Structures are given as C-alpha cells and as structure tokens.
Amino acid sequence: MNKWIIGSRPKTLPAAIAPVFVGTSLIQVDGQPINWFNALLALAVSLLLQIGVNYSNDYSDGVRGTDSERVGPIRLVASGLATSKQVKQAAFLAFFLASVSGLILALRTSPWLIAVGVIAIIAAWNYTGGKNPYGYLGFGEISVFLFFGVVATVGSYFAQSQKISWQSLLISIPMGSLACSILAINNLRDLPKDSLVNKKTLAVRLGDLRARKALIGLLIVSQITSALAYLITPWALITLIAIPLTLGISKAISSGQSGKELIPLLGKAGKLQLATALLITLALTLSRA
C-alpha cells in the first residue's frame, strides 16, 4: 500500500466522515433539500483536517522520538518511510487544501466559518506540535469531541441552514463520543510506552483500569444519545441496532485486552461510528417521508 495512504491512517477517517453525514442530513427535518455542493465542501474540510492532523502527529511524535517503538500502525517518520520534512509538508498541504475548501464554503454561507477553520487548524497542529502540545497533557479527547463532534456536526448543518439548533447539538454528542472512543482505544494501547516517554495522555493520567471504564462510558453515552435523537424523530430508535457492536467493543475492553490486541478494535470503533452515523442519517431522512 502507498506509504502516504498508510500515513493518513484510513481507520481514523470515519471520525471525519460520520459527523458530516449526520449534520448534513438534519436539514431534511426542516423540510429542505440538501445543498450537495456545500455538503461536499464540508466533507472535504473534515477529511482534510483529519488527514492533516494525522500527518502532523506523525511528524511531531517522530521528531520527538516518542514513536521509536510503536505498537500500533506504522508511522512514516519513525519507520523511516518518509523524512520528517516530507511528512510536515504533507500535513501543511492537507491543512492548505482544507483552508481552500473552508474558504469557499464560508463565502457561500457565513464568514464566521473562516474563524472556526483557523481555530481548528491551530488546534490540529498543536495537538502534538509546538512547545506545549496539549495531546501530551491529557486534553486530546476534549479537542476531538469538540472538533470532530460538535464543530463537524453542527458546522455541517450550518452549511445547509446557516443556523445552529438544539437538534444539531444533540446529534453531535454521539459523533463526538465515538470519535473520542477511537482516540481512547489508541491511547489505551499505547499507555505503557507513553508513560515511559512522559506523554501524559488521558489514559496515562487515569491509569489502565479507569481508562477502560472511561472508554466504555463513551460508548454508552454514544448509544444513549443516539437513541435520544428520538426527540427529533421516532425513527432514531433504529440506532438501537448498533447495540451488539457497542457491547462487543465494550466486552473486549473490559476483558483486559492490551497492546496489539487492541488494534482490531480501532477498526471496529470506526465502523461503529460510521454505522451509527448512517442509522441517524437514515432516521432523519425517513422523518421527511
């Protein structure tokens, strides 16, 4: 597989796709048609930001040496597949393309999206970059919830409606919780190594047992809030179909799986988020029928 595809970490991309699906489809509850061009622009921004932050993390962790003995997926800098300069340039290219897409979307909707985009890019870079990366201080999950949950979902709805509603905020919660669960699994897998290199992720700060409980809590919150979209449309109860997958991941986490054993759960968590998004999207679409 092409090294740049590997470096973009495809298994994390559902976290960028899912909230756009959900936020975009909400416009149908208002009885309005989807503006597909705005939807594609919102999707481009979300995907490019996710890819950009993945390359940025690869670069920053690589130059700091925190990926020298990685358990999870291959990192470009640490493995020597690409130089730190090349990976940094790839991150900047992704951020630039996200900026162009976001600017076009802002010109079609509201200039406020420019400010949101700037903040998102700064947050993406400083997750593991800069002098005091907040991802090393245990604040990664908060950032992911805000930007790949609330901002991505509500922003996608805003791109359709030019307004913010309680409905968009509600359905952003399961998206943010599931995006956090992907990061939480990643950090739980890397907990032993991260603690040795003073990378104080939330998992390191909580410790193994409490990190597992917090992760299961995120999965429960996502399932409950998905069903609570019943307040928007009764069709939202079809999200209960995802319970077996939620329970399967939770059982694997509670069983004490660690290290490489957790790698398959990343893919399953991504599938759970995408499945939940598709079920919510279907529910919102059926509400218009």
Rg (CA), the chain: 18
The answer, yes or no, to whether residue 107 has pLDDT greater than 60, is: yes
DSSP string, 16-82: HHHHHHHHHHGGGGGT----HHHHHHHHHHHHHHHHHHHHHHHHHHHHHTTTTT-SSS--HHHHTSS
CATH of the domain at 96: 1.10.600
Tens of pLDDT, residues 42-81: 999 999 999 999 999 888 877 876 655 556 567 788 778 8
Would the pLDDT of 13 be above 90?
Answer: no
Secondary structure letter of residue 261 according to DSSP: G
CB within 8 Å of 171: residues ≥ 6 apart: 22, 23, 26, 153, 225, 226, 229, 232, 280
Instruction: Give the model's confidence band at 1: pLDDT under 50 very low, under 70 low, under 90 confident, else very high.
Output: low
Total tally of structural domains belonging to the chain: 1
- CA–CA dist 19, 176 (Å, integer): 8
Cβ atoms of 157 and 27 closer than 8 Å: yes
What pLDDT is recorded for position 137? 86
Query: Is the model more confident about 138 or about 38?
Result: 38
pLDDT at 202: 92
Instruction: List pLDDT tens digits, range 183-239.
Output: 999 999 989 888 887 888 999 999 999 999 999 999 999 999 999 999 999 999 999
Question: Is 163 a residue whose pLDDT tops 90?
Answer: yes
Percent of the chain scored above 90 by pLDDT?
67
Average pLDDT over the chain, rounded to whole?
90
Query: Which residue is it, tokens 């709805």?
Result: 157
Residue ranges making up the domain that contains 183: 3-286
Note the pTM of the prediction, 2 decimals.
0.91
Task: Please give the pLDDT value at position 273.
Answer: 94
Tell me what pLDDT residue 14 has: 86
Residue 37 reports pLDDT greater than 90:
yes
Give the closest residue to 215 by CA, choosing from 271, 266, 274, 146. Answer: 266
pLDDT of residue 238: 96
> Which sign does the torsion angle of CA 133, 138, 141, 147 carry?
negative
Tens digit of pLDDT for each residue in 117-135?
A: 999 999 988 888 777 888 8
